[in-house]
Structure 1
């Protein structure tokens, strides 16, 4: 599966399944970890492992620009049989629309994989992420799993309509 998004000024973003162990993936994961540590004081690595991407119902993707340079990443992994969890979504913000392209691709892929819901966690202090998810139809829910009782965490959900 491949998604190409054409944006203004002839900018193009391609999103595709990728190797989570590639050097491009590693570079983006480290950029995300540094950014999260600066915003929240936590690099976010404690609730995600690359090895988890080898599950049949998990998916790791990269967004690339017209020159083939990786400019964003993201993943879904199983939370329950019908619920995927969105993890490690990141855009280097080198052009507009990277996050939206990643999110669209991951949502469509989750539906294709049989999921009916996507959940995610971010931190209350990460206003950019909160605004992004709310703008894209995610609603706040009670904290789930490892985030129960963690006051710094905020969780979201989005129903994936299986038409």
Structure 2
């Protein structure tokens, strides 16, 4: 029986968001020596073209991700995390973010992860992201790897599937 995962926008200040970002920061610190928290500004989520999303499984928070506006056509994917691997939660979160980005009229997504986080690097490659030149605060950081992806326009109904 397939597990029912729901994904919805949620305030970044919500207990679920705070719990998941705390777990993500701890895992990243263990893996890379950096929590990644300094690269995420909560105020960015106040922009009407930004969002924070939480994935829940049977009412339990199991993953998260965010979009931050960079320019009229580009958004940055931030804080993607799934507390259980092998359940497709990370892929569902990313598909949700991509669908929301298209709905918000973005045509390109960018993101950064650390080279040491090979699980994330391989995940983004599998999801169609291509390595690109390091941008913004990641320029000149040898341990960072940046990715980008062009988004297809929304088709007919404007609804997208992410499961």
Report the TM-score when normalising by structure 1: 0.92
Question: Matches of 2:143 and 2:86 in 1, distance apart?
Answer: 30
Deviation of residue 45 (structure 1)? 1.0
Q: Which residue does 1:87 correspond to in 2?
A: 78
Given the alignment of the two structures, is residue 154 of structure 1 paired with residue 145 of structure 2, yes or no? yes
Aligned with 2:25: secondary structure? helix
Q: Which residue does 1:116 correspond to in 2?
A: 107
Given the alignment of the two structures, is residue 40 of structure 1 paired with residue 7 of structure 2, yes or no? no
Aligned with 1:156: secondary structure? strand
Contact in 2 for aligned 1:71/1:94 (Cα 8 Å): no
Task: Describe the shift of the 1:134–1:116 C-alpha distance in structure 2 as closer, same or farther (beyond 3 A).
Answer: same
* Deviation beyond 6 Å, 4+ runs, structure 1: none
Question: Matches of 1:149 and 1:94 in 2, distance apart?
Answer: 31
- Give structure 1 stretches of 5+ with no counterpart: 1-8
The aligned length equals 154
What do you get for the CA RMSD once the two structures are aligned?
Answer: 1.0
Q: Which residue does 1:5 correspond to in 2?
A: none
Deviation of residue 51 (structure 1)? 2.1
1:122-137 → structure 2 map (5 Å cutoff): 122-137=113-128
Q: Which residue does 2:19 correspond to in 1?
A: 27
Q: Deviations over 1:6-25 (max 9, x none)?
A: xxx23111111111101111
Aligned with 1:130: secondary structure? helix
Aligned with 1:71: secondary structure? strand
Q: Which residue does 1:16 correspond to in 2?
A: 8
